[in-house]
Amino acid sequence: MSYRLKFVPAAMCKWQKLALPIKAQFKRKLAEHLLEPHVPANRLRSLDNAYKIKLRASGYRFIYQVDDAKIAVYVLSLGRREPFQ
């Protein structure tokens, strides 16, 4: 069963500004995660039913929340993670 993908408005603005190669990488990963969005290794501790997708080479991170009742995946945030100094 495939989940539907929905964007929070702030995340949609960031998505539209991404470069095409980064979008293509995220689309491939999202296609896999929409079939099975609950990935225990990618779970975030601070939010309920929230998970991350990381693109290590480019340094981007994608945070989504799963709603099993509506069979939907909501994209909460995406962007580049800055290193801690």
Q: State the catalytic residues.
A: 52, 81
Kind of pairing, strands 60-67 and 50-55?
A: antiparallel
Task: Identify the three-state secondary structure at position 78.
Answer: strand
Cα–Cα nearest to 66, from 40, 44, 48, 45: 48
